[in-house]
Amino acid sequence: MPTRAGSPNASVSVLGHRVERREDPPLVTGAATFVADLTVPGMLYAVFVRSSVAHGVLRGVDVSGALDLPGVVAAFGAGDLELPDIPEWPRPEGPPRPELGRPCLARDRVRFVGEAIAVVVAESEAQAVDAAEQVVVDIDPLPVVIEAMAALGDDAPVLFPDLGSNLVLEASPPTDDHVLEGADVVVRGRFVNQRVAAVPMETNGILVQPLPGGGIDCVVSCQAPFAVRAGIARALGKAEADVRVRTAAVGGGFGAKGGVYPEHVVVAAVADRLGRPVRHVETRSENLVAMSQGRGQIQEIALGARRDGTLVGIEARTVTDVGAYTWRGTIPWRTSRLMATGVYRVTRLALTSLGVVTNTTPVGPYRGAGRPEATAMLERAMDMLAAELGMDPVEVRRRNFVTPAEFPYATQTGVVYDSGDYDRALRIALDTAGYDELRAQQAARRAAGDPRALGIGIATFVEISGAGAEYGAVSIDAAGSIVVSTGSSPHGQGHETTLSQVAATVFGVETTRIRIVHSDTAAIPRGTGTFGSRSGQLGGNAVELSARAVLEQARETAADLLEASADDVVVVDGGLAVAGVPAKAVSWGEIAAAAPGGRLWAEEDFNQDEGTYPFGAHVAVVEVDTETGRVVLQRLIAVDDCGTVINPTIVEGQVHGGLAQGVAQALFEEVRHDEWGNPSTANLADYGMPSAAELPSFELGETVTPSPRNPLGMKGIGESGSVGSTAAIQNAVVDALAPLGVRHLDMPLTAERVWRAIHAAADGDADAGADAGADAGRPADPADGS
């Protein structure tokens, strides 16, 4: 192992090395325990009665039929529990609006298929399921609006009559008619970034056990235990100290498990009222209508440029569908706005960002949470600009990149990029792909009239990560045990491995010596959680600083024990020693025993007011069968920059996961509804989630541009794969079809959709590609599936 030389604190470094993930053995052997695996004595099972109507007045809920069945302990509607609404997520524009709160159980009105109306609790899950079917719900249907643009219409059904409109989020620039002034060419596009489902391996689940003295213990499949604790405590009128929230193994979250759900609150309230443990785990079909969904944005953009490809300005409007309640939909709406100018030097921007409610499942953060939407809009427009100018899409991008000398770079959206070298990432991606050779192959195929069209797509991107704070603490006891506590809450990211590497580097020990404590509000005083690519840089730096503080305490204590100056005390194997006299050493346990209180301990709340800005370049190579419309993704090259890398294996794993979800959106996935708001993709037979068989072997590269905003120089990596890949694949498919007259095609790029666009273009519709997916938000043609 390399060492940090030239310092009295020199220690063995495992940062940047491939340390095997310590989290994997229980997962791959089946030993891990999830919420659905948990049983406790006296446990009851909760099953929810959900609305089968997308919009209607709730006239009554009769649970008497359920109560007559064997094994049923209780059944409740909204009036029985009288729980407060879950408020919308905090907004920079102002406090949460009470009229937009989300009921824990529907009262007076239902607003989407899948909304919880009542809950039945029984001695067995089967009994609860049978009883839920006996609950009678009386709903008078109301007109439905399921498409974002329709929700803005003057005659649209209004979901919240007290609000008077479906427009719930709005940010507009001052009137400026000069954004595109001086442009030699203006390209315009209207794109649909379709709604997708999170589909974690484990659905939402919670087990709540009452505690003596009025407290409750909640085991929740979540990403942010402290946020869930705050939501449950608020709803039940309890002190947060009386609500314990912890996780078992968590089978994925992707942003959708980042907050408290109505079902969490209801199960906690029922367990508290009955004085018995209650568990609820969603079925997959429930999950596909009840868990928050992602994306769902209509985009209109105009790019103005000079003939040499230099951008003059951007004029854009986005309409984000937040679903039936604003809730956490404010997050992707805001993030897509912040990242609207991407990696380019944009000096003029007129961006209007709207958010509307519709009679659909609420939308919230989903891997990328606004970043992929912004990137797809801008990268599609850049390709359209290149086509209009007759330039290579690579060259158009290079002429507009923010250069390394311009950092820190303030954008027109109000964020300040920390560091980057966008052209270098693109250069490596192109070299890896063999770009010139690919273009030569493409030209040869086109000349030969090959029906299998080759498409090459590029996406360059930057994204935001790591704003906010996170807690970390490090302690060493008299036995020499080293414990790291973190407010991050891992659910597959490998934090136990990476945080142990950070601490092990400071103390010069093996990573196996480090115990990591996380995801339990009773064991950790505070924390934020894991989402938005934040944990490595915020949690990691909190641990780094805490460990350094413990090391300084240890050196002072060891100096007394060794009768030496603290300046001469250095890290050696197993403890500290006087420099140059390794035989004169004391162990970590001996030092802790001699310290005040018999232990060494420090904590840190590391804060980044401004986030960091990871970036990258992705290249996709597709083959499109122009006779059937079938798209085959042949290659996907991803070069990402997340600053300093703690563990390359974990970084690559995060990129792989993001790429898979980016491919899924580009080619397969779409949440669809019929004209009455009924989901037509409410199970995995109908929802087109790909398996590994549909994915190529990914080709990865990296650049390393440390961030100046934290001691370790880190940026996030969890979102990046999903940010660039979707746009690269979409660009590749349109590139393949360009000779046939297709100018644009919306996702998902299914064989049906591609085939229709090819034939429409052949019939002389020059804008067929632009229209082929532009109506994806409207009731779907059943034949246009994935």
Q: Give the pLDDT band (50/70/90) at residue 74.
A: very high
Residue position matching structure tokens 């919306």? 746
Instruction: Please state the φ and ψ torsions of residue 133, each to the nearest 5 degrees.
Output: -70, -15
698 SS3 class: coil
157 vs 164: CA distance, rounded Å: 10
Sheet holding 216-220, edge to edge: 72-77, 116-122, 44-50, 278-281, 205-210, 216-220, 243-246
Helix-, strand-, coil-residue percentages of the chain, each rounded to 5:
30, 25, 40
Instruction: Please state the φ and ψ torsions of residue 725, each to the nearest 5 degrees.
Output: -65, -40
774 vs 191: CA distance, rounded Å: 6
Asked if residues 601 and 473 have their Cβ atoms less than 8 Å apart, the reply is yes
In this predicted structure, the answer to whether residue 766 has a pLDDT above a threshold of 70 is no
Q: How far is CA 455 from CA 224, 590, 725, 728, in A?
A: 41, 65, 14, 10
The pTM for the full model equals 0.94
Q: CB-side exposure of 658: number of CA atoms within 13 Å?
A: 33
Asked if residues 666 and 750 have their Cβ atoms less than 8 Å apart, the reply is no
Q: Which of 220, 213, 201 is nearest to 278 (CA)?
A: 220
Q: Pairing between strand 468-477 and 599-608?
A: antiparallel
If you average pLDDT over residues 393-414, what whole number do you get?
97
**H or E stretch at 314:** strand 311-321
| Per-residue pLDDT tens over the stretch 570-592 | 999 999 999 998 888 999 999 99
If you average pLDDT over residues 354-378, what whole number do you get?
97
In this predicted structure, the answer to whether residue 8 has a pLDDT above a threshold of 80 is no
In this predicted structure, the answer to whether residue 2 has a pLDDT above a threshold of 60 is no
Q: CB-side exposure of 431: number of CA atoms within 13 Å?
A: 9
In this predicted structure, the answer to whether residue 5 has a pLDDT above a threshold of 70 is no
Per-residue confidence (pLDDT) for residue 107, from 0 to 100: 95
| Per-residue pLDDT tens over the stretch 631-665 | 999 999 999 999 999 999 999 999 999 999 999 99
If you average pLDDT over residues 392-414, what whole number do you get?
97
Structure tokens at 152: 């803005």
The runs of H, that is alpha helices, within 574-672 are 588-594, 648-667
Instruction: Please state the φ and ψ torsions of residue 39, each to the nearest 5 degrees.
Output: -135, 145
232 vs 235: CA distance, rounded Å: 5
Q: Give the pLDDT band (50/70/90) at residue 175.
A: low
197 vs 167: CA distance, rounded Å: 23
728 vs 620: CA distance, rounded Å: 5
Burial environment of residue 522 by CB neighbours within 10 A (0 to 12, 13 to 18, 19 or more): middle
The runs of H, that is alpha helices, within 619-719 are 648-667
103 vs 98: CA distance, rounded Å: 11
Asked if residues 454 and 621 have their Cβ atoms less than 8 Å apart, the reply is yes
| Per-residue pLDDT tens over the stretch 310-332 | 999 999 999 999 999 999 999 99
Per-residue confidence (pLDDT) for residue 7, from 0 to 100: 34
Q: Which of 75, 80, 20 is nearest to 48 (CA)?
A: 75
If you average pLDDT over residues 257-283, what whole number do you get?
98
In this predicted structure, the answer to whether residue 158 has a pLDDT above a threshold of 50 is yes
Q: Give the pLDDT band (50/70/90) at residue 250.
A: very high
Share of the chain above pLDDT 70, in %: 95
Sheet holding 56-62, edge to edge: 109-110, 56-62, 136-141
Mean pLDDT of the chain: 93
Per-residue confidence (pLDDT) for residue 92, from 0 to 100: 72
Q: Give the pLDDT band (50/70/90) at residue 12.
A: low
| Per-residue pLDDT tens over the stretch 438-450 | 999 999 999 999 9
Radius of gyration for the alpha carbons in the chain, expressed in angstroms and rounded:
28
In this predicted structure, the answer to whether residue 783 has a pLDDT above a threshold of 50 is no
Q: Give the pLDDT band (50/70/90) at residue 203.
A: very high
Q: Which of 115, 126, 124 is nearest to 49 (CA)?
A: 115
- 267: Cα separation from own chain's centroid: 26
Per-residue confidence (pLDDT) for residue 768, from 0 to 100: 54
Asked if omega into 408 is within 30° of 0 (cis), the reply is yes
CA 465, 636, 656, 190 torsion-angle sign: positive
The runs of H, that is alpha helices, within 138-261 are 148-151, 225-236
279 vs 495: CA distance, rounded Å: 28
Q: Which of 399, 398, 378, 346 is nearest to 727 (CA)?
A: 378
Q: How far is CA 215 from CA 240, 273, 521, 616, 754, in A?
A: 9, 12, 13, 47, 57
Per-residue confidence (pLDDT) for residue 149, from 0 to 100: 97
Q: CB-side exposure of 328: number of CA atoms within 13 Å?
A: 21
| For the ranges 161-175, 277-291, 771-785, the one whose mean pLDDT is highest | 277-291
Per-residue confidence (pLDDT) for residue 176, from 0 to 100: 67
319 vs 326: CA distance, rounded Å: 13
Q: Pairing between strand 452-462 and 615-625?
A: antiparallel
160 vs 165: CA distance, rounded Å: 7
622 SS3 class: strand
474 vs 465: CA distance, rounded Å: 25
- 744: Cα separation from own chain's centroid: 27
In this predicted structure, the answer to whether residue 269 has a pLDDT above a threshold of 60 is yes
If you average pLDDT over residues 456-463, what whole number do you get?
98
Q: How far is CA 404 from CA 75, 225, 551, 614, 641, in A?
A: 62, 39, 36, 14, 14
Length of the chain: 786
Q: Which of 148, 196, 162, 94 is nearest to 353 (CA)?
A: 148
Instruction: Please state the φ and ψ torsions of residue 104, each to the nearest 5 degrees.
Output: -70, -35
In this predicted structure, the answer to whether residue 775 has a pLDDT above a threshold of 50 is no
734 vs 259: CA distance, rounded Å: 37
Asked if residues 299 and 379 have their Cβ atoms less than 8 Å apart, the reply is no
Residue position matching structure tokens 């099972």? 45
Structure tokens at 744: 């644009």
| For the ranges 3-12, 528-537, 751-760, the one whose mean pLDDT is highest | 751-760
The residue type of 466 is G
Per-residue confidence (pLDDT) for residue 292, from 0 to 100: 98
Burial environment of residue 155 by CB neighbours within 10 A (0 to 12, 13 to 18, 19 or more): exposed
Per-residue confidence (pLDDT) for residue 418, from 0 to 100: 97
Span between the terminal Cα atoms of the chain, in Å: 50
Q: Which of 469, 587, 485 is nearest to 535 (CA)?
A: 469
Q: How far is CA 459 from CA 439, 621, 730, in A?
A: 16, 12, 9
Asked if residues 776 and 746 have their Cβ atoms less than 8 Å apart, the reply is yes
Q: Give the pLDDT band (50/70/90) at residue 767.
A: low
Per-residue confidence (pLDDT) for residue 419, from 0 to 100: 97
Burial environment of residue 323 by CB neighbours within 10 A (0 to 12, 13 to 18, 19 or more): buried
Per-residue confidence (pLDDT) for residue 771, from 0 to 100: 39
In this predicted structure, the answer to whether residue 11 has a pLDDT above a threshold of 60 is no
| Per-residue pLDDT tens over the stretch 697-737 | 999 999 999 999 999 999 999 999 999 999 999 999 999 99
Asked if residues 124 and 136 have their Cβ atoms less than 8 Å apart, the reply is no
113 vs 229: CA distance, rounded Å: 27
**How many other C-beta atoms lie within 10 A of the C-beta of residue 412?**
16
The residue type of 101 is G
In this predicted structure, the answer to whether residue 764 has a pLDDT above a threshold of 70 is yes
